[in-house]
Structure 1
């Protein structure tokens, strides 16, 4: 959830970048990658240069229409883009991913994302629409968290662990940052 925010001062807006129907979106892809600090907006997994990231249109009804806009574009793993539900109508009403209320309405707990208020239909619909708790993603996220717990133990004091995470070659270790912060009880967002 750390990479869903949109910014009024975004270079994407300042440079007038738009999604091109002809597929020539290298500049927009790079700008989204920079804005999201190199992480997939939906899964929070690091997008390495060898990974295939794609621009997703959160609301697929806007794709290739004049109403499509910066707030609808997210860089995500290609696999997630293929698995994401296309019929947003089934998930309405839905919480907008860039909502300022996002972290007050959705939390990570017990290995999954869930609404803070179990009656919050918009939050539930966003979680389900984005596939935030799809089985393969939950397993991948949990394996990563367990691996980082082991690394933390080997590092010793938290200062050593933080130093390990700040090395550029370990950037991908900050994948699933929301889960890591919860499971490790550490604030790590400042490292991104």
Structure 2
């Protein structure tokens, strides 16, 4: 997971869009904007959300859903499965918000896994557990992806930047885990996608 960036210039804010339960037309517009803002990546798993993936507008604080206090900073586009697997909100309070300035300092990436920098950081520990960021299957999938990219780069004798530029131009759906790519290869996928 990487820190989510939410801006006041979002179309969701400027057009004053509101999430409306049971209104798929309205909510589809919000989902499309979130997908573009997130560069096509799931806010929690950092996997690319393709056209065929089930996706949800996730209300980070589910107690706000359907209330006047529910707003743009509470909404993230995620793969449906990870929305289903999100743990009990109340049990994991206080929790670090995905937009927190120091999120990537507090939840660190190391060789395919996410860890809290310090166990005393209750908010970070709770976010890790709430979103199942330490899920072994997800971590193994991320590790395999990184290993394949390293092997491909070695076989093609490319530098990482050239490799990922080519991969994106061939099929952007092949790119996932932007934070892992940045940590492992020093390549900022999000800048390439701008």
Question: Which aligned pairs between 1:18-37 and structure 2 lie closer than 5 A?
Answer: 18-24=18-24, 25-37=27-39
Question: Contact 2:8–2:14 (CA<8 Å) still a contact in 1?
Answer: no
Contact 1:3 1:44 in 2 (8 A): no
Partner Cα distance (1:83, 1:112) in 2:
18
Residue of structure 1 in register with 2:153 after alignment: 152
**Aligned-pair Cα RMSD in Å:** 1.7
CA deviations over 1:157-189 (Å, ceiling 9, x no partner): 30541432341x331333111112223344444
Q: Distance in 1 between matches of 2:152 and 2:163?
A: 8
Give the deviation of 1:5 after TM superposition: 1.8
Describe the superposition over 1:11-64 as per-residue Cα deviations: whole angstroms up to 9, x where unpaired: 110111111111321101101111111111101100111111111100111111
Could you tell me the TM-score, scaled by structure 1's length? 0.91
**Structure 2 alignment gaps of length 5 or more:** none
- Stretches of structure 1 lacking an aligned partner (at least 5 in a row): none
Query: 1:88: how far off?
Result: 1.2
Whole-Å separation in 1 of the counterparts to 2:38 and 2:138: 19
Alignment correspondent of 1:80: 82
Q: Which runs of 4+ in 1 moved over 4 A?
A: none
SS at match of 2:76: strand
Change in CA separation of 1:161 and 1:60 when aligned onto 2, cut-off 3 Å: same
Count of residues in correspondence between the two structures: 190
